[in-house]
Amino acid sequence: MRLAIAAHDPATTSETFIRMQYERLPCALAIHGGPVASETRPGGAIAPLRSLRGMAETAWDVGVRRTRWEGPQTRELARRLARARIDTMLVNFGTHAAALLPACEAAGVRIVPHFHGSDAHTASVVEAHRAGYRDLAARAHRVVAVSRHMIGALVALGFPEEKMRLVRCGVDTGRFTPRAAPPADPLFFGVGRFVDKKAPYLTLLAFRAVRERHPRARLVLAGDGQLLEVTRNLSHALGLDGAVELPGSLSHEAVARHMLAATAFVQHSICPREGPARGDCEGTPVAVLEAMICGLPIVATRHAGIGEVVEQGVSGLLVEERDVDGMAGAMLSVCDDPALGVRLGAAARTAALERHTAERYVAGLLEALA
231 neighbors 200 (Cβ within 8 angstroms): yes
Q: Would you tell me how many other CB atoms lie within 10 Å of the CB of residue 103?
A: 25
Domains 3-166 and 187-355 share a fold: yes
What are the extents of the domains in the chain? 3-166, 187-355
206 neighbors 331 (Cβ within 8 angstroms): yes
Residue from 75, 150, 144 nearest 105 by CA: 75
What is the C-alpha separation between 370 and 358, in angstroms, rounded?
18
- Main-chain phi, psi angles of 166, to 5 degrees: -85, 115
**Domain 3-166: CATH class, spelled out:** alpha beta
pLDDT of residue 47: 76
What is the C-alpha separation between 25 and 112, in angstroms, rounded?
14
- Main-chain phi, psi angles of 109, to 5 degrees: -105, 135
Is the pLDDT at 10 greater than 70, yes or no? no
Share of the chain residues as helix, strand and coil, in percent rounded to the nearest 5: 50, 15, 35
Burial of 157 (0-12, 13-18, 19+ CB in 10 A): middle
Query: Considering only 9-23, 130-144, 207-221, which range has the smallest mean pLDDT?
Result: 9-23
Name residue 45's beta-bridge partners: 39
Cis peptide before 35 (omega within 30 of 0): yes
Percent over 70 (pLDDT), the chain: 92
Taking residues 180-187, report their average pLDDT.
Answer: 94
- The single-letter DSSP state of residue 357 is B
What is the C-alpha separation between 109 and 88, in angstroms, rounded?
5
Q: Would you tell me how many other CB atoms lie within 10 Å of the CB of residue 357?
A: 18
Is the pLDDT at 141 greater than 50, yes or no? yes
Name the pLDDT band for 17 (thresholds 50, 70, 90).
confident
pLDDT digits (tens, 9 = 90+) for 145-173: 999 999 999 999 999 999 999 999 999 99
Question: Any idea which architecture 187-355 has in CATH?
Answer: 3-Layer(aba) Sandwich (3.40)
pLDDT digits (tens, 9 = 90+) for 36-68: 898 999 999 887 666 666 666 666 666 655 555
